[in-house]
Structure 1
Amino acid sequence: MQDQLNQIQAQMQNQRFADALHALDALRVNGPDKIQAMLMQAVCYRALNQRAEALNVLKQLIDQDPSVVRAYEELGHVHVAGKNADKAILGYREAVQRDPAALNTWKQLAGLYKMTGDQQGMAVAARHIAELSSLPPQLVSAKSHLNQGRIEQADAICREFLQHNKTHVDGMRLLAQIAIQAKIMDDAEFLLESAREFEPDNIAVQLELASVLLKRQKFGAANELAMNLTKLQPDNLEFQSLAAATQQGVGDTNAAIAIYQRLVEVGYQPKSTFLMLGHAHKTAGNLDQSIEAYQRCYAANPEFGDAFWSLANTKTYAFSDAEIAHMTEYEQRDTTSVEDRVHLCFALGKAYEDQQDYYTSFIHYQRGNQLNAELLKDQSPELAPRVQWQKQRCTAELFEQRAGLGHTAPDPIFIVGLPRAGSTLLEQILASHSQVDGTLELPNILSLARRLRGRKPVKVGDEPQYPKILAELEEDYFQRFGQQYIDDTRVFRQDAPLFIDKMPNNFLHIGLIRLILPNAKIIDARRHPMACCFSGFKQLFAEGQEFTYGLAEIGSYYKAYIEMMDHWDEVLPGFVLRVQHEDVVQDLETQVHRMLEFCGLPFEQACLEFHKTKRNVRTPSSEQVRQPIYTTGLEQWRNYEEYLQPLKDALGPDVLQRYPI
């Protein structure tokens, strides 16, 4: 098919647009080739002065894939041909919004702004033109590829450039941005640290490095950079906003709230600032203030779905009829972005659930998940094959041969499992003990696993480097990895001898944990599969957890998780304590004694009165764990049972028979 499209492209280059259009009409194209063919059709129609037909093709293309930058550029070209400057500007604006590195499009906009007398638009376009023109063409091209989601092409161009320009700071910054998009945050940090060595006073490098450190949860270092930036430019509101985020990261939520409050008062980016103010109040347990901030957020930005979802995500807010009507209207508008529609759908799902209209609620949860799945271009790897590699390589023989090599510290208590399985409740119970610090969902084990996996892409079906490498590493690595984990996580701790790492996805890496930290404790937070999976299905996660965006997908994931945990029980008997959420709810005291005994801790009454413990909680369950144990959530899934057959089918009889329905 690509050969045929290339032949048609050659006809177009020779100005044979009618022949090209006839050839395109005769093709039966699907997939990515269809997008290219439709773009070519639109160009041909424009060249033949058939603008109505060109606009019709472009509308179909944008409806099919609204991310195609070239479609909006062509839309601008068509309207320029029709001498409609205002509509041409709209098309070009949509293009540069998706790809700010589109230099030629900015030049088109500059001319149109001059023609229409838009001085502000001229200034914006001139700034972008000057910035892009100052960069080497290779970096502009790489930026454009990155903006359009073509990460591999962007990476290849940028690396080729840096091979010949090893100290080019803008090249390093761009490669760091590419690494961030690829979720290789350690590379991004290294690149920006290197750039700072070459240009210590480069403000942009410092800002980007602080943002990466914040994403990596290196809050102390991020806060130091952010506070330095605010000293250099006290009136820079962007730096103040960053400082608020880093202050919250280091645990000074009150300082963060004060900064966000000042930013709100001066009108700085009201959409994001009101939202972050609400999140900070929620983390601190100030529910009324968080609700007020979210309400002010949507009052200023009526289409902003995240404000409504944040209200729903308090788990206690009841939407009014007027708010439900407002959300419904904006969710159905063509002008509402897909991301906003996702948030609105989940908020409407919660609103109708509270009204006990479970059919309408389910429809909205389902639509939100479908839209969210469509937004994802890079799906996370399937769990089932990763489980098989762990089972094949992490055997009882491996643990016997490599016993006693890791770091002996008993400090960490890992709580693993699936999202919405009750892990936040277990963390709150244990963190109420005087000898245990609560922290966060720490990324350190996942980062180590990613390092061991290596950078080289693995073809589908081929065995990855990790976990096979665990049998090949030199013995001293296990001690070093364990020590590094203890050192790197110290910033999240206070003074207690033990601390909690509540990253649920660590369940896949229990073998790695055993080898590097053999005295660590691991608690598996387990919940009834129907309750756990449906709770995940109706929860909109900030990032990751893509397996929750479909009933069949989350059911298959739960099944693979059970298989993985069964394997750890077989090859590492007694290393993991399983705590069933339903047992905690029905008999709290017995389960508290079980957990404390497993962790080698004496009983403390505060663990039974966990809801009285004052600490910042950043998960969706933050308000629930500030209340005594409640039983209302145990059977919520039954209200939707008639719609959950795909989930039951994916879980299968073996899993469901463990937990009679």
Structure 2
Amino acid sequence: MTLEQQIKQAISKGQLQDAINMAEQAIAELDKQGAEHQQHIALLYILAVATRLSGDLKKAIEINESLLALSDSHARAHQELAYAHRAMGDDLQSASHFYQATQFNPALLSSWKGLLQHYQKSHNDQAADLATAQINYLSELPKQLLHARDLMHEGQLHQADQLCRKFLQTHKHHPEGMLLLAEIGIALKVYADAEFLLESCLALHPEHRAAGIEYLKLLTKMGRFQDALDCANNLLVKHPTHPAVLSAKASALLGLGEAEQAIELYQQLLEDSPNQAGLHLLKGHAYKAAGQLEHAVSAYQKAYTIKADFGDAYWSLANTKTYSFSDAELEAMEKQTQQNIHLEDKAHFYFALGKALEDKQSFDSSFAYYDKGNAIKRAQSGYQAEQFEQQVRQHKQVFTKALFNTLNKVGDAAGDPIFIVGLPRSGSTLLEQILASHSHIDGTMELHNILGLASRLKGQKNKYPDIVATLDKDYFQRFGAQYIKDTRAYRAGAPMFIDKMPNNFLHIGLIKLILPNAKIIDARREPMACCFSNFKQLFAEGQEFTYGLENIGRYYKAYMDMMAHWNEVLPGFVLHVQHEDVINNLEEQVARMLDFCGLPFEQACVDFHKTKRTIKTPSSEQVRQPIFKDSMQQHLHYDKHLARLKNLVGKLN
């Protein structure tokens, strides 16, 4: 029996002082050793429970607050605080913590019941109805699924997965079991498996609204915006005013480049719920993508006015790259970082403050904030540089000259796509804007189709990339044709189109096999400038390698290694375009890229900033302006902080 189990057993027997003594001794020992974070948290929680049950409510509150300082999203700590405040007669504080508990873990039935009591006392009938619905839903779940859902929300994904699979062995097509297993798969980023589960669930249970909404969210996450739009429209036939479906439809429309329609939907939603800070944020993103920066700024400001600790609203202002924070906004942000707010919000504030202070040329303070923000995101992501380096080694082993000789021109013959690859913040959006200004080229979005194909192949028995060498040749033509078909929704009728997904550099071999006549342009930037620009950027999702100078440096080295391999085994297939060359000699580089694509020169490509189109990347405002050189040497202001990075990439090019 572990120490934690012994303490829990003492609590269950009512031996509370013994439990408290054991927990305190264990915590003191961990402190001496340099406590393991998760074990410390687990023991603090047990100590808080025992202390509250012993009647020492003030001390229980102190322990829980210490716990939340280490793990601000600990749902059960909020639940414990709610119990303690309720016992002290502070119903408002109790309700607040019950609410926080349900936000972090919607499977906490006791917290929902505590909330319901508060809503009934305060005659908040609408909130009481929502709480009652959730209580009824959780109460009707089989115990195994309730426990698995609880484990999922507590971050114990593999245990939740095992428990859910065990339940489905004896309840094969249980809709809640299938839905939950899909949700766990999404959390584990096993999107292909989750998609199959949700499709199966909806085929067997077409009326299951929650599964339909989860499927819609997954399609959007995978970048399959046309499928997401179709799914949303189907759901709206039966649920025409459902806010989550309408919001997801707006997101799908934005993904398809229909920014104005997305804005209209967000405005419609805000008419019913004007104080939803998140909706104002989403509307701001749509305005920004459409190039309506003034409206975007107003929407972001409205979001933080409604919710003062909404870090994402401040970061979104910083992420316009052109917004200048007032002294009052700076003071408000700095004040929020001193509060007990969610770590996600705190990370947003740190990155926003980093950008604000950089603009004010307070570079040391700016770096300190960037570093704090990166530390939070790095801890959350769990990114391991070794895993990506191993992926690169595997791709080099599989995609050899011999393989390409054996599988010569087996893919679809279409020459429509122009893939722009590289690292984020390497100038890829600028290249996209230049090329999309040509009359023969459609600009699209950051398409997920190649990543989706790689993900599906990973789910195969032999795993990707090894499976590539064992596939029948006709698969490659089918994959290529499917890619052309699936991307048609993003096009406007030009003979060629751009697929700008930087991460596709890893999959150039796969692209060559399925689309041998595609064009690939590698957007490359001076290593220190590129890596530091990534360090400063807080990405909405993915790009976990960017949260730490060493991780970024190692990733850049692996990228250069991968690109050197493609040059060796596929000579001439990739055109490398250096960002600094584009900045210094735009017309020459435009002519070079158009020649590579087999297209005549057009002046509109040089005047790219005049082109009107939806752009969703962080560089959206920068590429709507003429070429400027200000960002080329920004990293030099932080030189004394970048020794680790310089040691890794300083001599690469």
TM-score normalized by the length of structure 1:
0.91
| Change in 2 beyond 3 A, CA 1:16/1:295 | closer
Q: Which residue of 1 aligns with 2:316?
A: 310
Q: Which residue of 2 aligns with 1:62?
A: 68
Which deviates more, 469-478 or 312-321? 469-478
Q: 2:112 & 2:434 partners in 1: Cα distance?
A: 56
Identical aligned pairs, as a percentage?
49
Q: Which residue of 2 aligns with 1:172?
A: 178
* Contact map agreement 2:385 2:555 (CA 8 A) in 1: no
Give yes or no for the alignment of 1:272 onto 2:278: yes
Q: 1:23 & 1:322 partners in 2: Cα distance?
A: 48
Amino acid at match of 2:143: P
Q: Which residue of 2 aligns with 1:460?
A: none
Amino acid at match of 1:24: A
Q: Which residue of 2 aligns with 1:360?
A: 365
Shift of 1:227: 3.3
**Residue of 409, 413, 434 corresponding to 2:414:** 409
Q: 1:466 & 1:225 partners in 2: Cα distance?
A: 29
SS at match of 1:522: strand
| Change in 2 beyond 3 A, CA 1:164/1:622 | same
Give yes or no for the alignment of 1:631 onto 2:650: no
Q: Which residue of 1 aligns with 2:441?
A: 436
Shift of 1:66: 2.3
Shift of 1:418: 0.4
| Change in 2 beyond 3 A, CA 1:466/1:57 | same
Amino acid at match of 1:485: Y
**1:353-395 CA distances to partner (integer Å, 9 max, x unpaired)?**
2222212222221122122223335768732121122222222
Higher relative contact order (CA 8 A, sep 6+): 2
**Residue of 68, 82, 85 corresponding to 1:76:** 82
Shift of 1:235: 4.2
Shift of 1:504: 0.5
Shift of 1:398: 2.0
Q: 2:492 & 2:230 partners in 1: Cα distance?
A: 19
* Contact map agreement 2:284 2:295 (CA 8 A) in 1: yes
Q: Which residue of 1 aligns with 2:469?
A: 471
Q: 2:85 & 2:262 partners in 1: Cα distance?
A: 47
Unaligned runs of 5+ residues in structure 1 are: 457-463
| Change in 2 beyond 3 A, CA 1:611/1:171 | same
Shift of 1:171: 2.5
Give yes or no for the alignment of 1:345 onto 2:350: yes
Which deviates more, 597-606 or 392-401? 392-401
Give yes or no for the alignment of 1:143 onto 2:149: yes
| Change in 2 beyond 3 A, CA 1:288/1:46 | closer
Q: Which residue of 2 aligns with 1:600?
A: 598
Shift of 1:79: 4.2
SS at match of 2:55: coil
Q: Which residue of 1 aligns with 2:262?
A: 256
Shift of 1:299: 2.1
Q: 1:598 & 1:281 partners in 2: Cα distance?
A: 34
* Contact map agreement 1:359 1:640 (CA 8 A) in 2: yes
Q: Which residue of 2 aligns with 1:459?
A: none
Shift of 1:196: 2.6
* Contact map agreement 2:412 2:481 (CA 8 A) in 1: yes
Q: Which residue of 2 aligns with 1:195?
A: 201
Q: 1:406 & 1:192 partners in 2: Cα distance?
A: 30
**Residue of 106, 109, 116 corresponding to 1:100:** 106
* Contact map agreement 1:142 1:155 (CA 8 A) in 2: yes
Q: 1:500 & 1:76 partners in 2: Cα distance?
A: 53
Q: 2:216 & 2:297 partners in 1: Cα distance?
A: 29
Q: 1:98 & 1:82 partners in 2: Cα distance?
A: 24
Shift of 1:272: 1.6
* Contact map agreement 2:383 2:545 (CA 8 A) in 1: no
Q: Which residue of 2 aligns with 1:3?
A: 2
Amino acid at match of 2:453: L
**Residue of 403, 406, 410 corresponding to 1:398:** 403
TM-score normalized by the length of structure 2:
0.92
Which deviates more, 568-577 or 295-304? 295-304
* Contact map agreement 2:224 2:448 (CA 8 A) in 1: no
Which deviates more, 111-120 or 242-251? 111-120
Q: 1:354 & 1:196 partners in 2: Cα distance?
A: 51
Amino acid at match of 1:584: V
**1:23-54 CA distances to partner (integer Å, 9 max, x unpaired)?**
33443344233323223323333343333443
Q: Which residue of 2 aligns with 1:163?
A: 169
SS at match of 2:95: helix
**Residue of 569, 572, 593 corresponding to 2:570:** 572
Alignment of 1:527-542 (within 5 A): 527-542=525-540
Amino acid at match of 2:408: A
**1:301-350 CA distances to partner (integer Å, 9 max, x unpaired)?**
2221212211111111111222212222222222x322222112222222
Q: Give the count of matched residue pairs.
A: 646
Q: 1:143 & 1:380 partners in 2: Cα distance?
A: 31
Amino acid at match of 2:415: P
Which deviates more, 572-581 or 76-85? 76-85
Q: 2:298 & 2:116 partners in 1: Cα distance?
A: 41
Amino acid at match of 2:362: D
Give yes or no for the alignment of 1:419 onto 2:424: yes
Amino acid at match of 2:312: D
Which deviates more, 176-185 or 577-586? 176-185
* Contact map agreement 2:119 2:128 (CA 8 A) in 1: yes
Shift of 1:250: 3.0
| Change in 2 beyond 3 A, CA 1:220/1:7 | closer
Q: Which residue of 2 aligns with 1:657?
A: 651
Q: 2:243 & 2:157 partners in 1: Cα distance?
A: 31
Q: Which residue of 1 aligns with 2:459?
A: 454
Shift of 1:115: 6.9
Q: 2:115 & 2:328 partners in 1: Cα distance?
A: 40
Q: 2:535 & 2:333 partners in 1: Cα distance?
A: 20
Q: 1:301 & 1:641 partners in 2: Cα distance?
A: 36
SS at match of 2:107: coil
Alignment of 1:286-297 (within 5 A): 286-297=292-303
Q: Which residue of 2 aligns with 1:13?
A: 12
RMSD: 2.5
Q: 2:86 & 2:607 partners in 1: Cα distance?
A: 68
SS at match of 2:632: coil
**1:416-438 CA distances to partner (integer Å, 9 max, x unpaired)?**
11000000111111111222111
Shift of 1:658: 4.4
